[in-house]
Amino acid sequence: MRPTQAPFPATRLRRLRQSPSVRALTRENTLTVDDFIWPVFVRSGEGIEEPIPSMPGVMRRSVDKIVEAAKEAADLGIPAICIFPYTGLEERTEDCAGAWDPDNHANRAIRAIKAAVPGIAVMTDVALDTYNINGHDGFVEDGQIVNDRTVEALVKMTLAQAEAGADIIGPSDMMDGRIGAMRGALEAAGHQNVMILSYSAKYASAFYGPFRDAVGASGALTGDKKTYQMDPGNSDEALRLIERDLREGADMVMVKPGLPYLDICRRVKDTFGAPTYAYQVSGEYAMIQGAAANGWIDGDKVMLESLMAFKRAGCDGILTYFAPAAAKLLAR
């Protein structure tokens, strides 16, 4: 029960907002560099930093440049980096075998980062979309995205990433039963310390458009992902998915997208108390960058305000393309 406040003028709530020092003393949530996971995109080649037009300031990088990015992140105090591979249509197949190839772009990047910057945590993405000629997170059979065969492939992908040195596995596919299968396989293979940060409540959102450009999936995707990603109208379902993934062995859980789903973040944290993360996705990033470029908003201030919203909603951390820029601002 809330304590009863004395009536005005005994209670003047503005007293606690009167100066920077008092505001600092009474601030309920604090944003720090420790809250950030920086998503980066890796591609083939060497010495490449390729701008992504729909995500101003974000690059596709070759493995050597990904290592440089990881060093930058470590120097800024960013605790984790998350790797997403870019693949052209010529690299995609029906059987998605590239997803568990030990020498694919992502696995080479994992090994290179862990060799050069061993102290930074490396997170990965587990889904078939960047290797699938159909652009879907699972195998497509007779027009249907099949679940169980996909889970078998995702387990192979998980083990390949763990063998490469990944610290955190990030299943983003939304197939049923994949967390339990991955956890069992990791334990059996001796990777008991590899963590799973499950995309447990991932919505079928229109905010992913620029990301699909970044990983080369825009031209590949046939149909939509509504049979496996969540309906944006659902909230209780998110809690059922979170509970299932925690029971199957997820160490941490994620809500995606971020800002349009802060209510889900708060419900998840209040209900389970588990480490809860949100992904400030490409569309959220692009909108802020686009408005800032047009002079409609103060980009730096809106960036930090948007990130603070995740902390206020109960998140323990945020996947954000703003991580380096925000880290530099916070360091000031």
Centroid of chain to Cα 291 = 23
Q: Is 256 one of the annotated active-site residues of the chain?
A: yes
CATH number of 34-72+82-252: 3.20.20.70
171, 126 Cβ separation under 8 angstroms: yes
Query: Does the pLDDT of residue 218 top 70, yes or no?
Result: no
Contacts of 243 (CB under 8 A, 6+ apart): 272
Q: For 58-96, write each residue's pLDDT tens digit.
A: 999 999 999 999 999 999 999 999 999 998 888 899 999
Between these two residues, 296 and 92, which has the higher pLDDT value?
Answer: 296
**Given 65, 114, 256, 311, the catalytic residue:** 256
Lowest mean pLDDT among 167-181, 215-229, 236-250, 253-267: 215-229
Q: What is the pLDDT of residue 217?
A: 66
Rg (CA), the chain: 20
Average pLDDT value for residue range 9-32 = 96
Q: Of 58, 30, 65, 66, which is closest to residue 320 (Cα–Cα)?
A: 58
Q: How far apart are CA 221 and CA 235, in angstroms?
A: 27
Q: Is 225 one of the annotated active-site residues of the chain?
A: no
Identify the band that residue 213 occupies on the pLDDT scale cut at 50, 70 and 90.
confident
Average pLDDT value for residue range 10-14 = 94
| Beta-bridge partner residues of 60 | 41, 50
Residue found by looking up tokens 């990881």 in the block = 70
| Beta-bridge partner residues of 280 | 320
**Helical ranges in 189-296 per DSSP H:** 209-215, 236-248, 262-272, 282-293
**What CA–CA distances, in Å, run from 80 to 164, 188, 199, 296?**
16, 26, 16, 32
**Given 65, 114, 202, 269, the catalytic residue:** 202
What are the extents of the domains in the chain?
34-72+82-252
Q: Of 150, 152, 153, 60, which is closest to residue 109 (Cα–Cα)?
A: 60
153, 128 Cβ separation under 8 angstroms: yes
Q: How far apart are CA 117 and CA 44, in angstroms?
A: 21
